[in-house]
Structure formats: structure tokens, C-alpha cells
């Protein structure tokens, strides 16, 4: 009897430990993805948590939400802005835990690969909203980049296109400068600005996405279409055209076009703030910068950049210079800026679908998107109504902005959709090692090719 | 044999008897497991389980969320050996430890000696030296980013004092980014070194210092021959803390330079984060973490042995 008691006494703590382990395991199992849509909630009421890195200011997001709430007043949308550099770190555990957003931003490329398993297939939703021929009504670039494994991971809200420089029109006017069209003109413009103690061109070369934009534009000047070919494996990163691209990239640093210390700069917030505070005359940004042609967004951006009481100044898009001198027009390229994905773990899926459908497929929602000039709308039938838009200086901005929108809507070259996170990391390593003189363009291209092969890209 | 040593042996026998188990008539050792169970569950559950799980995932090719990770055995470890960025992080850690430890030790010792020298406003100086320790790196990082920016305060000061030729993009070039990170760390942690030395110096017998002075020892001689040897234990403790801190370095390089430019300020901690979170190589990050743990243990053991060896002498 005593022996039995002793054994029980010894076993008790172990049984407590076992019970605790079982409880933890059971709780963990409860947190798993059921993927069950039977309890989707109401389609016209509820609370939807939306996480995104864009719109990059909550004022723009609140404009969308306010317009949505005019039609659906009983659905509360909580927008949480997450900096793009923290996006993966924040979203991955949030989605995995089931405590994350109901709706989240999705971008073609690496994000689709990483988060597709958490996104509801929205093919049926698109058909329900726009009819069986829905694919003919939206920009094709917004479908291909957001699809993976036969699943439409998100509905594209709008597209962005890059390959343009933006200039501070006031600075160019003050020093009687014209936008550069060649590398030598670019260098001359920078010399004039530097003589007058104004920064020339600012780039956040520590961020891969924006380095890719500049490199892709250089590559399009060297040999149009080459960047896309190497991105999908039809050509190699060691191609002479890419080596030349990296050599021109290096020249931007050596000739003083790039600002000192560019490889330590982030495009957001560093380069963006420096340009918006008038320290530099040029920056490499895409169509998302069109929003800052408006007085409202420019004022908000200046405020966010820490400038109080500043007067908005007009900015203008200009074509990327023919830096290779080969006579090629450096064409633009683009992707869906962001689609809205619905989490498989959302407990308010029906309300989330209502919101996503309104944003991505309704004429009202798309018009609000278009008029913000942050994205070009996904619906091809919608264009910005410039009567609704207050530009900083309509006399000089309206024409170039309209031309930009027209030009961008015809673009078919992808921006980042073909690149995985590993290849993007390899591009950043190549760009910074060349810029800092740690590697020659040839060696960097070779290392980049190895990185792409290690990442599983198959080359012909 | 002295009376004292005989008594010690008797006490030892009594203790060993009390600790023996099962003897009839002897007091039973109280069951301890239920008492330590909460702490045991916590430490085993949170720490050792996490270490074990990290070791397990270091054998996977896994993005951290997909349901079907691929078992790759020791491939992640062999990849690490061939990874130039990993070896760069090791170099950075070694340089970082040596420089920050030496400079902090020197500054901490000097400040401690000065504060013991009956300075006016000594209390104010102590607060000023210690304040950086309590400021969160997340708060100070934007300040330092601004200070070391091409148009930041440092370059502005240099230009105003006629040293404009020295102005440069401090955190935007590989040659100066790591020294900036080390400078920030030294600024942040010298207060701790100072406090520990200051406290240790209060333990020195004043009669020893008095005797040195009577023998004609100068201040420098007293510092080198009496104070510094007495600080050995504190220095070794600071060495261990510094080494572990260097291995764990994450916040300052991540917040100020994001490990760049071109991996110039990449440390094991930032590299583990880069691989695990943005790139989604959770298995590879796990293998790096295991290596970090092993290195930290080896360093701690070596420093302990060095400390014991010197104490034995």
C-alpha cells in the first residue's frame, strides 16, 4: 500500500506535466486553419480588419473606407498600416496564428508565393461581381501576377507602373533646367544642381525593390525586354547586357548622380522624405507617385515627412533617360500594386468579400481609387476624373499626368511578378556590391546567376 | 590536524547522513519535485523545448508556414560553411567584441576612477554617463540615423569647424558603417561598465591605497598595479557579458543600417532574422541559431575557464 502511494506521489507531477502538454497541444490544434466558410457571418454588417502597406498613408485608406461606408454603413473597416519593410515579419505570424487580418494586401511575386496558402480563392467572387467574362473587364496584368497554383489569391485593386523619374518642377524652373534624356545630360543637370547646393537624384539603394526599378530601367535602355528574359530564365544574369546594366549602375554612383551614401538609404522613408522636403531635384518612383501631384496628398505627405506648414510644390513624371545611349526608349513596366486577399481564417468572410468586391470590381470603388491617383484602377472602364482632382499646379501637371496614365495603361512588361524573394535578395546584393566597389559588374552578375539557380530558377 | 578541520569533517558527516536516503530512523529528504515543477515546466517548456525544436527545424527546408517541410538532414549546416555572408557575420562579431570591450573597459575604468576622485558635480556626471543605458535603442536609432546621415549633424559640425574634408556618408559606406555601429554600442553600454567598476572600487581596502601612496606610487602606478588587478573579477564578468552581447547583437545594426550596406554590418542576429523572416528560410535560420547557441556556450565556457585559471593563480 505504501509503495503504491509513493508511486502515485511520484507519478502525480508527471501526470500534471502530461496534462499540461495535452492542453497546450489541444489549444494549438484549436488555432489551426479550419478553412470552413460555413460560418462566414453577415455580408452587410460586421467588423473587417484590413492590413496593408499601401495606401501608404491612412488618410487615403480612410477616404476609401468612407466611400465604402456610404454604401455599407454597417460594416466597420479597421485599416492597419504596416511599413513594407516590416510586412512579412508582421503578417506571417498574424496569419499563422489566426489572429491576423480578415483582408490583407497582396503583391505579385514573392508575397503571392509566401502567403497564397492563407488566401481564399477569389475566382468565383470575381465572376459573381463582373460576370463570366470578368477577365475581359479588368487589367490582365492584375490577374496573372496574383494567381498561383490555379488560384486567384487576391483581386487587384489597381496597378502601378515604374520606369519613370519624378522631378521637382520648382527646382528645375529655378535653375532653368530641362529634364535629362541621356546619361551625359543627367550628369550635367546634377553638376548644375550641386553647384547651387541642391541635391540632384536621391535613391534608397538599400531597398531591393527600388534598386530593381532603376536596374530594370537601365536594362531596358541597354536592350529592351532583356530584364524580363533573365527574370523568367530565358536568358542568364551573366548576359553581356546585364553586365553593361550593372556597369551603368556603377557609373551613376561614380559620376555623382546618386547621392552620397545611397546604399545606406531606404527609399521609404529616407529618399521619399528627402525629395518631398525639397532637398533633391529627382527621384526614381512609379505611377504611385501620381498621388503627390494633388494638393491634398502632397500636403499630407509633407506633414508625414516632418515639414510643418510647407507649401506643396508641383512634381512631374519624366521618362527614364537613355542611359545606354543606344537610342532605346526605356519602356515602363508594372504589376498589380496590390490586390486584396481574404484570409482563410477570417471570421467575417462575408463582410470581407463585400469590401473586397466593392474596392476591386465596383464602379464606385474603382472611381475613388482612380481619383486618388495612387493606383491606376483595375477596371479598364474607369479612368480618373480630373474634375474631382485638385492638382498643385494644373497648368503644368495635368498634361504630363494624363500622358503618364495613358502610356502606363498599355504596359505589359512585368515589374516584380517574376522574381522570388531570393532572387530579389540576390539583385540587392549585386547592386550594392557593385555600387560599393566590392565586386565588378562581371563578378556580381556571376554571383547573381548562382543565387538565381540556387533559388530554383531554371535557365534555358 | 587542527580542531577546526576536525569539526568541519564532523559537520560534513552529519550532513551526508541527513542527505542519505532510506535509512531507518533518519529524516526523509522532503520531496522537491512539486515545488520546482512550475519553474521546471517553464524552463523545460519554453527554453529547452524551443532549443530542441530549433535544432529539429534546422534539419528542414521549410518556409515556416507550409504544412510539408522537406527533411534535408545536415544540408543547412554544410550550406552555412560555404556561405560568405555567415563568415562575414563572424568577422564582424569578433571585431565588434574586441573593439567595444576594450574601449568600454578603458572608458568605464577612467570614469570610475575620476568619480572616486571627489569631483565637483560627480553625481551629475554619473547620471549623464548612465543615461544612455536606460534609453531604448528603438528610440535612439532614428536619432543616430539622422546624426550620421550625409546631411546630418556630424557632417555639419565637421564642416563648421573647418574639417569638411572629413564629412562623409557614415552609414552609407561599408568602410564606416561598422565603426558607427560600434560607436553607438559603446555610447550605450559604457554606463554599465562604469557602474560595475565604480562599485568594485569601493571594495578596495583604503589602507592598501594609502600604503601605496606612502611608498611613493604615482596615481598611474596605483591604477595599474593596485586598482586594475583588483578589478580582474569585474573585467572577466564584463568580458563574458560583452561576448554574449556581441553574439546576440541585433537591435542597433538592424535599426540603424539594416545589416548593410552590402552586409557590412550584418551580425549573426540580423542574418538569422533576414534568412528566417524576409526570405522565409526558417530551416536555414534555425541552423544559424543552433550555431549561435553553440558558439555562445563555447565562448562562455572559455571565459569562465580563463577567469578560474587566473583566480587560482
Is pLDDT at A35 greater than 60 in this prediction?
A: no
**pTM of this structure:** 0.80
Query: How far is the alpha carbon of A206 from chain B, nearest alpha carbon, in Å?
Result: 7
Cα A432 vs. chain centroid, distance in angstroms? 21
pLDDT at A6: 38
Asked if the Cβ–Cβ distance from B37 to A13 is below 8 Å, we say yes
Give me the domains of chain B, ranges plus CATH numbers. Answer: 75-312 (1.10.3720.10)
Q: What is the pLDDT along chain B (313 residues), one digit of tens a residue?
A: 444 444 444 444 444 444 444 445 556 666 788 888 888 888 888 888 999 999 999 999 998 877 789 999 999 999 999 999 999 999 999 999 999 999 999 999 999 999 988 788 888 999 999 999 999 999 999 999 989 988 889 999 999 999 989 999 999 889 999 999 999 999 999 999 999 999 999 999 889 988 998 988 888 899 899 999 999 889 988 998 999 899 999 999 999 998 989 899 999 999 999 999 888 899 999 999 999 999 988 988 888 787 776 666 5
> Does A198 reach chain B within 8 Å, measured CB to CB?
no
Beta carbons within 10 angstroms of residue B218's beta carbon: 11
Nearby residues of A381 by Cβ (< 8 Å), 6 or more positions away: A137, A363
| Burial (CB count <10 Å: 0-12, 13-18, 19+), residue B240 | middle
CB B199 within 8 A of CB B111: no
CB B300 within 8 A of CB B240: yes
Is pLDDT at A296 greater than 50 in this prediction?
A: yes
pLDDT in tens, A369-417: 998 888 889 998 898 888 878 899 999 999 999 999 888 878 889 998 8
* Spatial distance between the Cα atoms of A382 and A364, rounded to a whole number of angstroms: 9
Q: What is the mean pLDDT of chain A?
A: 87
Mean pLDDT of A326-330: 88
Chain B environment of A438 (Cβ under 8 Å): 174, 262
Chain A environment of B177 (Cβ under 8 Å): 264
Confidence tier at A26 by pLDDT (50, 70, 90): very low
* Spatial distance between the Cα atoms of A357 and A126, rounded to a whole number of angstroms: 8
Angle in degrees, 0-180, between the axes of helices A421-435 and A208-222, rounded to the nearest 10? 80
Nearest C-alpha in B relative to A438: B262
ipTM of the prediction: 0.75
Residues facing residue A284 across a β-bridge = A165
Q: pLDDT higher for A33 or A45?
A: A45
pLDDT at B128: 94
Is pLDDT at A4 greater than 60 in this prediction?
A: no
* Spatial distance between the Cα atoms of B284 and B81, rounded to a whole number of angstroms: 12
* Spatial distance between the Cα atoms of A85 and A206, rounded to a whole number of angstroms: 11
pLDDT at A3: 35
Beta carbons within 10 angstroms of residue A283's beta carbon: 23
Q: Choose the closest CB to A264 out of B34, B172, B279.
A: B172
Asked if the Cβ–Cβ distance from A432 to B278 is below 8 Å, we say no
Q: Which of A53, A264, A271, A274 to mutate to test the interface with B (most CBs of B within 10 A)?
A: A264
| Burial (CB count <10 Å: 0-12, 13-18, 19+), residue A224 | middle
Chain B environment of A24 (Cβ under 8 Å): 45
Is pLDDT at A31 greater than 70 in this prediction?
A: no
* Spatial distance between the Cα atoms of A199 and A196, rounded to a whole number of angstroms: 9
pLDDT at B16: 44
Chain B environment of A12 (Cβ under 8 Å): 34
Q: Choose the closest CB to B150 out of A12, A118, A259.
A: A259
Nearby residues of A403 by Cβ (< 8 Å), 6 or more positions away: none
Is pLDDT at A33 greater than 50 in this prediction?
A: no
Strands A46-52, A103-106: parallel, antiparallel or unpaired by DSSP?
Answer: parallel
Rg, Å, chain A Cα set: 25
Amino acid at each position: 500500500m505504501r509503495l503504491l502511494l509513493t508511486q502515485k506521489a511520484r507519478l502525480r507531477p508527471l501526470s500534471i506535466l502530461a496534462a499540461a502538454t495535452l492542453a497546450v497541444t489541444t489549444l494549438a490544434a484549436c488555432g489551426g486553419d479550419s478553412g470552413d466558410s460555413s460560418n462566414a457571418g453577415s455580408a452587410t454588417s460586421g467588423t473587417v480588419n484590413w492590413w496593408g502597406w499601401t495606401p501608404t498613408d491612412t488618410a487615403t485608406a480612410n477616404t476609401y473606407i468612407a466611400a465604402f461606408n456610404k454604401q455599407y454603413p454597417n460594416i466597420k473597416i479597421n485599416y492597419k498600416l504596416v511599413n513594407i519593410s516590416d510586412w512579412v515579419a508582421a503578417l506571417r505570424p498574424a496569419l499563422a496564428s489566426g489572429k491576423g487580418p480578415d483582408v490583407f494586401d497582396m503583391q505579385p511575386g514573392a508575397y503571392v508565393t509566401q502567403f497564397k496558402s492563407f488566401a481564399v480563392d477569389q475566382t468565383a467572387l470575381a465572376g459573381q461581381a463582373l460576370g463570366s467574362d470578368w477577365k475581359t473587364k479588368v487589367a490582365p496584368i492584375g490577374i496573372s501576377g496574383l494567381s498561383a497554383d490555379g488560384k486567384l489569391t487576391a483581386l487587384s485593386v489597381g496597378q502601378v507602373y515604374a520606369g519613370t523619374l519624378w522631378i521637382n518642377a520648382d527646382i528645375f524652373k529655378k535653375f532653368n533646367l530641362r529634364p535629362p534624356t541621356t546619361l551625359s545630360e543627367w550628369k550635367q543637370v546634377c553638376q548644375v544642381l550641386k553647384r547651387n547646393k541642391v541635391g540632384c537624384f536621391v535613391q534608397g539603394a538599400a531597398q531591393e525593390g527600388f534598386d530593381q526599378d532603376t536596374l530594370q530601367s537601365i536594362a531596358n535602355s541597354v536592350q529592351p525586354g532583356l530584364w524580363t528574359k533573365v527574370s523568367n530564365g530565358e536568358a542568364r544574369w551573366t548576359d553581356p547586357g546585364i553586365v553593361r546594366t550593372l556597369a551603368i549602375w556603377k557609373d551613376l554612383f561614380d559620376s555623382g548622380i546618386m547621392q552620397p551614401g545611397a546604399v545606406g538609404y531606404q527609399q521609404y522613408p529616407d529618399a521619399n522624405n528627402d525629395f518631398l522636403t525639397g532637398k533633391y531635384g529627382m527621384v526614381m518612383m512609379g505611377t504611385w507617385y501620381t498621388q503627390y501631384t494633388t494638393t491634398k496628398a502632397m500636403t499630407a505627405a509633407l506633414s508625414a515627412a516632418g515639414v510643418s506648414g510647407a507649401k506643396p510644390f508641383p512634381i512631374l513624371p519624366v521618362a527614364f533617360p537613355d542611359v545606354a545611349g543606344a537610342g532605346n526608349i526605356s519602356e515602363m513596366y508594372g504589376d498589380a500594386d496590390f490586390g486584396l486577399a481574404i484570409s482563410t481564417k477570417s471570421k467575417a468572410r462575408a463582410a470581407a468579400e463585400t469590401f473586397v468586391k466593392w474596392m476591386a470590381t465596383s464602379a464606385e470603388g474603382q472611381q475613388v481609387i482612380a481619383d486618388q491617383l495612387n493606383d491606376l484602377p483595375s477596371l479598364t472602364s474607369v479612368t480618373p476624373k480630373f474634375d474631382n482632382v485638385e492638382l498643385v499646379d494644373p497648368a503644368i501637371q495635368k498634361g504630363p499626368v494624363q500622358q503618364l496614365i495613358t502610356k502606363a495603361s498599355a504596359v505589359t512588361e512585368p515589374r516584380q511578378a517574376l522574381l522570388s524573394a531570393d532572387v530579389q535578395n540576390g539583385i540587392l546584393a549585386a547592386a550594392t556590391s557593385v555600387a560599393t566597389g566590392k565586386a565588378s559588374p562581371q563578378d556580381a552578375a556571376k554571383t547573381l546567376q548562382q543565387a538565381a539557380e540556387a533559388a530554383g530558377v531554371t535557365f534555358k | 590536524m587542527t580542531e577546526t578541520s576536525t569539526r568541519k569533517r564532523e559537520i560534513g558527516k552529519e550532513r551526508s547522513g541527513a542527505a542519505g536516503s532510506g535509512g531507518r530512523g533518519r529524516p526523509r529528504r522532503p520531496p522537491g519535485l512539486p515545488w520546482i515543477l512550475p519553474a521546471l515546466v517553464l524552463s523545460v517548456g519554453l527554453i529547452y523545448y524551443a532549443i530542441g525544436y530549433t535544432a529539429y527545424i534546422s534539419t528542414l527546408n521549410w518556409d515556416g508556414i507550409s504544412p510539408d517541410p522537406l527533411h534535408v538532414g545536415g544540408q543547412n549546416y554544410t550550406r552555412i560553411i560555404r556561405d560568405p555572408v555567415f563568415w562575414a557575420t563572424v568577422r564582424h562579431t569578433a571585431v565588434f567584441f574586441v573593439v567595444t570591450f576594450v574601449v568600454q573597459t578603458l572608458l568605464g575604468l577612467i570614469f570610475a576612477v575620476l568619480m572616486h576622485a571627489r569631483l565637483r558635480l560627480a553625481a551629475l556626471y554619473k547620471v549623464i554617463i548612465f543615461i544612455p543605458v536606460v534609453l531604448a535603442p528603438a528610440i535612439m536609432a532614428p536619432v543616430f540615423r539622422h546624426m550620421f546621415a550625409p546631411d546630418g549633424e556630424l557632417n555639419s559640425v565637421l564642416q563648421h569647424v573647418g574639417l569638411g574634408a572629413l564629412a562623409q556618408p557614415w552609414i552609407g559606406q561599408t568602410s564606416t558603417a561598422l565603426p558607427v555601429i560600434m560607436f553607438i554600442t559603446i555610447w550605450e553600454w559604457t554606463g554599465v561598465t562604469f557602474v560595475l567598476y565604480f562599485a568594485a572600487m569601493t571594495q578596495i581596502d583604503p589602507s592598501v591605497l594609502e600604503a601605496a601612496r606612502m611608498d611613493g606610487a604615482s596615481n598611474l602606478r596605483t591604477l595599474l598595479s593596485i586598482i586594475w588587478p583588483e578589478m580582474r573579477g569585474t573585467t572577466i564578468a564584463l568580458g563574458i557579458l560583452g561576448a554574449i552581447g556581441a553574439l546576440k547583437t541585433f537591435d542597433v545594426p538592424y535599426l540603424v543600417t539594416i545589416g548593410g550596406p552590402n552586409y557590412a554590418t550584418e551580425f549573426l542576429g540580423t542574418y538569422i532574422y533576414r534568412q528566417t523572416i524576409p526570405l522565409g528560410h526558417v530551416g536555414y535560420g534555425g541552423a544559424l541559431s543552433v550555431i549561435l547557441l553553440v558558439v555562445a556556450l563555447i565562448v562562455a565556457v572559455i571565459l569562465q575557464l580563463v577567469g578560474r585559471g587566473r583566480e587560482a593563480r
